[in-house]
């Protein structure tokens, strides 16, 4: 099948590469010429395990290409996926300017029948707005506004499908190839049924063992994506709140997690206490869902609390450091392990490390930072956060190099490489012999035996 993907960011690139790997002819359209050139050379601008090999292999097999030519992209695809960014605007709602710009471009160039699939995370009602934008351009070209008239006159026509993504950064290729569900939102018109059948054919190779396709109306599909991310964010904030309470009560949040996670009605996923959620999805999607509710005159009180709890949680490590060393941290150096918002990605969007580092620097401390993947991206975003004032941040090449000359270690991201350190070496290297663990990687007794003070989240502290 011939497929066009508009947008070669995280979602668009993974979608295009995996669909090409299934034997489709895929063209990815992006307005960033430098990115297109990089991708056409077989390299990718983001870190995602397994992705670069798939891009390079399918480029070599002529199943995947990248272009800035919008008209050629529209002409190529039987299905046109919109996978551009929907960043938050000043109100907290998702900004649809890029989505609607693609829709207008489709309307300007479409011939024949096209299935337009919204892959971007968009508010409920966006499918209607995309259809209106495409129709407006068709009318400008002299075609009928009524879809029935376009069919009767054999004019260009289309249907808008909602096909939200459910990809976890760090496991996106696996998630796409082995989906736990495929949501397709379509209307009941003949064009909608035709689009649904095409989408079923497209995803058939990914559901051979068990059909996980769920068909619903467009608006329900749009809401499903926001509801899923809001639920996961809620679980994270709930566990963080419990972790803080566990410290007050002398309980161990890890034991609590195992106890409640064993209940099949609850399960273990997204029940780990830590420094708060970040990334490209949860923060903006929770905010956008609250904004959509507000437009209907409804307040989502649980999600307001989720956001408030998450904002506060990003200062928990900083609070533990201040309790230990005081408000003025001048003269102290902290090793920071982990900069990306989660492991197996270089994504720094809303990463808790950004809040922590800015606070430590503001209080006079110096930083020795290490991340297995996100160093270059961290340098870029921290330079922006700190308005170029990065003189007291030293980015080093190994985890142990960060410890050299540091007073204390702060763990922000749970990369596997941090899970089994040489505690004796840490005790020798850290001037104040303290670890502040934002991901509960270690058993307190093991750290205690090494002669180190240990400050996890919601567990017994060793001081």
Which residues are catalytic, by number? 281
143 in Cβ contact with 113 (< 8 Å) = no
- What's CA 99's distance to the chain center, in Å? 18
Residue partners of 462: CB distance under 8 A and separation at least 6: 444, 447, 448, 452, 453, 454, 455
Tokens coding 399: 């985890």
Residue 298, class by beta-carbon neighbours within 10 Å (0-12 exposed, 13-18 middle, 19+ buried)?
A: exposed
Burial 335-357 (b: 16+ CB within 10 A, else e): bbbbbbbbbbbbbbbbbbbbbbb
**Count, residues in the chain:** 463
Per the DSSP assignment, residues forming a β-bridge with 26 are 3, 64
Measured distance CA(82)–CA(107) in Å, rounded: 13
Q: What is the DSSP letter of 151?
A: H
Q: What is the DSSP letter of 244?
A: H
Burial 377-386 (b: 16+ CB within 10 A, else e): bbbebbeebb
Burial 394-417 (b: 16+ CB within 10 A, else e): bbbeebebbbeebbbbbbbbbbee
Measured distance CA(135)–CA(106) in Å, rounded: 10
Nearest to residue 64, comparing CAs of 133, 12, 135? 12
């Amino acid at each position: 099948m011939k497929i066009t993907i508009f947008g070669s960011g995280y979602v668009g690139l993974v979608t295009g590469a995996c669909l090409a790997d299934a034997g489709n002819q895929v063209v990815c359209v992006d307005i960033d010429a430098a990115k297109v050139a990089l991708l056409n050379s077989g390299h990718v601008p983001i870190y995602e395990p397994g992705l670069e090999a798939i891009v390079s292999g399918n480029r070599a097999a002529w199943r995947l290409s990248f272009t800035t030519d919008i008209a050629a992209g529209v002409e190529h695809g039987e299905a046109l996926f919109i996978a551009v960014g929907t960043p938050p605007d000043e109100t907290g709602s998702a900004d649809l300017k890029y989505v609607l710009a693609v829709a207008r471009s489709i309307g300007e160039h479409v011939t024949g029948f096209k299935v337009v699939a919204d892959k971007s995370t968009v508010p409920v009602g966006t499918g209607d707005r995309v259809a209106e934008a495409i129709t407006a351009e068709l009318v400008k070209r002299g075609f009928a506004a009524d879809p029935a008239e376009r069919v009767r006159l054999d004019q260009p026509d289309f249907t808008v499908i909602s096909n939200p993504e459910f990809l976890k950064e760090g496991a996106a290729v696996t998630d796409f190839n082995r989906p736990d569900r495929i949501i397709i939102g379509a209307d009941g018109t003949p064009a909608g049924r035709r689009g649904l059948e095409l989408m079923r054919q497209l995803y058939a190779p990914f559901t051979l063992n068990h059909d996980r396709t769920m068909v619903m109306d467009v608006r329900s599909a749009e809401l499903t994506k926001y509801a899923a991310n809001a639920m996961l964010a809620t679980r994270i904030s709930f566990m963080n709140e419990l972790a803080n309470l566990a410290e007050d009560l002398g309980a161990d949040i890890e034991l609590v997690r195992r106890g409640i996670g064993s209940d099949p009605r609850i399960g273990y996923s997204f029940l780990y206490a830590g420094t708060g959620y970040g990334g490209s999805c949860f923060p903006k999607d929770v905010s956008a869902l609250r904004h959509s509710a507000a437009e209907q005159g409804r307040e989502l009180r649980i999600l307001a609390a989720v956001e408030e709890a998450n904002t506060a949680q990003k200062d928990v490590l900083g609070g533990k450091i201040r309790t230990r060393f005081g408000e003025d941290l001048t003269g102290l150096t902290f090793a920071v392990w982990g900069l990306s918002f989660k492991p197996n990605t270089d994504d720094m969007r809303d990463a808790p490390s950004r809040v922590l580092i800015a606070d430590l620097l503001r209080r006079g401390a110096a930083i020795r930072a290490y991340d297995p993947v996100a160093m270059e991206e961290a340098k870029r975003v921290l330079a922006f956060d700190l308005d170029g004032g990065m003189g007291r941040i030293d980015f080093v090449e190994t985890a142990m190099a960060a410890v050299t000359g540091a007073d204390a270690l702060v763990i922000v991201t749970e990369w596997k490489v941090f899970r089994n350190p040489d505690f004796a070496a840490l005790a020798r290297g850290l001037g104040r012999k303290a670890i502040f663990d934002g991901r509960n990687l270690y058993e307190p007794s093991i750290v205690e035996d090494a002669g180190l003070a240990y400050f996890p989240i919601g567990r017994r502290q060793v001081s």
